[in-house]
Structure 1
Amino acid sequence: MLISHESIGEMMVHTRDISDGGIFVVTNPEQMPPVGTEVRGQVQGMLADAPVVDMRIVRIEEGGIGLQFCN
């Protein structure tokens, strides 16, 4: 997954868990903006371009961050 935000630019991360409400991505949490920040994300490696979605950082823990899909 490609995550982007003005404070980090673009960063490629691996997904660990995904649900209807959000996704957990494996990354160095120290490189990410704080909880509450909205970022954009796009799944990579699909045959067609996946949509870019808005997500909010809702959890930061050792080994990654939890993102909630924004409506």
Structure 2
Amino acid sequence: MTGIDRREHIRTAMSAKVKVVHPELGEFLFSTRDISDGGVFIIVDGQAFEPNIGDKVTVQVQGLPVPAPVLDMLIVRKTNDGLGLQFELRGA
């Protein structure tokens, strides 16, 4: 990576399936690449998912023995292979 790393939180590699729901684009299933206290990076891998920076989505981990919570997240970064999502606090 070139330039200054502005990351606030340490990233941990994590591969999990997540359901991402965008209010206009619909529901998608992606894999995660990493997670931190501030958010998660999802691998889009050529799927027809083209949200804008600043769009809100909900995210839910799939494949657990019990349903995972549905989290509000914000699209904060786009790369060639995926999207950086930031956790949002409900009611904030």
2:59 pairs with 1:57: no
Alignment partner for residue 41 of structure 1, among 49, 59, 65?
A: 59
Identity over the aligned pairs, expressed in percent? Answer: 45
Q: Give structure 2 stretches of 5+ with no counterpart.
A: 1-17
Shift of 1:7: 2.0
Q: Which runs of 5+ in 1 are unaligned?
A: none
Does the aligned pair in 2 maintain the 1:39–1:55 contact within 8 Å? yes
CA RMSD between the two structures: 1.3
Structure 1 runs of 4+ off > 6 angstroms? none
Q: Which has the larger radius of gyration?
A: 2
Query: Between Structure 1 and Structure 2, which shows a larger proportion of strand residues?
Result: 1
| Number of the residue aligned with 2:43 | 26
Deviation at 1:31, TM superposition (A): 1.9
Q: TM-score, normalised by structure 1?
A: 0.93
User: More helix by proportion, 1 or 2?
Assistant: 1
CA distance in 1, matches of 2:47, 2:81: 7
The TM-score, its normalising length taken from structure 2, stands at 0.73
